Amino acid sequence: MRHKLIQLLTSALLFNAVISSTLSAEESVNYVESTKYQVTKNQALIEIKFSKKINYKHDQLKSPYRIYFDIEVKNIDPNLIALIESINKQPGLVTKAVIAKNKPDIARIVFEFTQGTNTRISSTRKGIQLVASQSEIPDLIDNFYKAETTQTKNKIWEKKQYLIAIDAGHGGKDPGAVGRRGTTEKSVNLSIAKRLKKLIDKEKNMKAILTRDRDVYVKLSDRIKKIRKHQPTIFISIHADGAENRKASGSSVFILPRKDEVASSRYAKLVAEKENEMDLLFDPDINNRDQNTQLTILDMTQNMSRYLSEQLGTSVLKRIGKVNNLHKKKVEKANFAVLKSIDVCSILVETAFLSNSQEEKQLKTAAYQDRLALAILQGIKDFLKNTPPAQLGVTISEN
């Protein structure tokens, strides 16, 4: 790391870089709580959250187009170096990033952009968010920095594989939907989740974790804690539907709507209400104010995750469509509590209708559960094939 740091610093001749005296352990170098870099072909997002109030200013330079931040700090936080490295490893609209001590009390970060890039900066003393786009700037998350970050420090850049968190909906005292033959949703969900985990663990570069591995009730707040702790690349919540109308059938995939969007259909709204009701009914913690604040806080930082979630949802839906009829041909959007509380590429799958006797019969069988699990895996793989690993915070070596 030290070696790379010196490389970075020496390459920053542009700014009369003064290489700071060595970063001794006693000095307080940690003032960055978390960073984020996400990039698609036409967009880039850079976020820096400070752990304390930091003074800085920013300005632009022309030809090439650059934006720099002069941050009033004595040292360079290693998290910033990791951020710069990850940008340079996976450049996009940001063609280059540099960090260097500009003066004894100033660290300068410079981002250089492709000609004609539009940028937008949101900043306070607690954080910086920079969005670059080839077209108009996407609808962005102002005030993101007010959110208490739940990410642990930059672990994200060390990830060498895709971690998939699988949530088998319901469990224990909460059976979920119940079919006419008495099949419970909680058991079908668990069985599919375990099959999916097995398939994922066999894949190169992929590993799965379960939010529950047996018939227990796991409170929503505990599931969320677990997901946040592990920071998975992808989160998939597995459910089976139940409807008054016993003819209702087919699979659907859901993601969260944007903050300013409503549910994509009456059906989507109903499904979310029903699933949330269970979560809220059985988890008293979720009703206290702290938890509620936590749930809404993340709303602000999820736009990029939402974009990825829609891509993932579309891939999974396509594959599931080969196993079962689709209840809805497109990815549906609704406010599921479990999706709302995490800032991860995530989908909720309603595999089929337990209330439909034909589908209940199928859902019970190992063969059908396997086919569904395999379809979800294939959907995940299709998605990963089309998504640069860095965009998901994963570093995969090509050999």
Binding site for Zn ion (CB under 5 A): 169, 176, 239, 275
Report, in Å, the least distance between residue 283 CB and Zn ion. 14
Separation of alpha carbons 184 and 83, rounded Å? 46
Closer residue to Zn ion (CB): 235 or 307: 235
- Is 176 or 389 the residue whose CB approaches Zn ion more closely? 176
DSSP, res 299: G
Q: Tokens at residue 272, please?
A: 């979310």
In sequence order, what are the residues at sequence separation of 6 or more whose Cβ sits closer than 8 angstroms to the Cβ of residue 205? 160, 161, 162, 396
Shortest-Cβ-distance residue relative to Zn ion:
239
Which residue's CB is nearer to Zn ion, number 363 or number 392? Answer: 363
Looking at the Cβ atoms of 66 and 223, the one nearer to Zn ion is: 223
Q: Which residues of 87-101 are buried (b: 16+ CB within 10 A; e: fewer)?
A: beebebbbbebbbbb
| Minimum distance, C-beta of residue 169 to Zn ion, in the bound complex (Å) | 4
Q: 230, exposed or middle or buried, with CB in 10 Å at 0-12, 13-18, 19+?
A: middle
Nearer to Zn ion among residue 87 and residue 376 (C-beta) = 376
Query: How far apart, in Å, do the first and last CA atoms of the chain sit?
Result: 23
- Whether the CB-CB separation of 94 and 47 falls below 8 Å is answered with no
The answer to whether the peptide bond before residue 64 is cis (omega within 30 degrees of 0) is: yes
Residue closer to Zn ion, measured from CB, 66 or 195: 195
Reference 299, options 103, 139, 141; nearest CA is 141
Taking the complex as a whole, the smallest distance from the CB of residue 21 to Zn ion amounts, in Å, to 58
250: left (phi > 0), else alpha (psi -120 to 50), else beta?
left
Closest distance to Zn ion from the beta carbon of 171 (Å): 10
Question: Judged by CB, which is closer to Zn ion: 208, or 354?
Answer: 354
* Choice between 176 and 313, CB closer to Zn ion: 176
DSSP H or E segment with residue 381: helix 366-385
- Can you say whether residue 143 is alpha, beta or left, with left for phi > 0 and alpha for psi between -120 and 50 degrees? left
Collapsing DSSP to helix, strand or coil, 211 comes out as coil
**Shortest separation between residue 85's beta carbon and Zn ion, angstroms:** 42
Beta-carbon contacts of residue 16 (< 8 Å; ≥ 6 apart): 102
Shortest reach from residue 367's CB to Zn ion, in Å: 22
Q: How far is the CB of 102 from Zn ion (least distance, A)?
A: 54
CB 177 → Zn ion: shortest distance, Å?
6
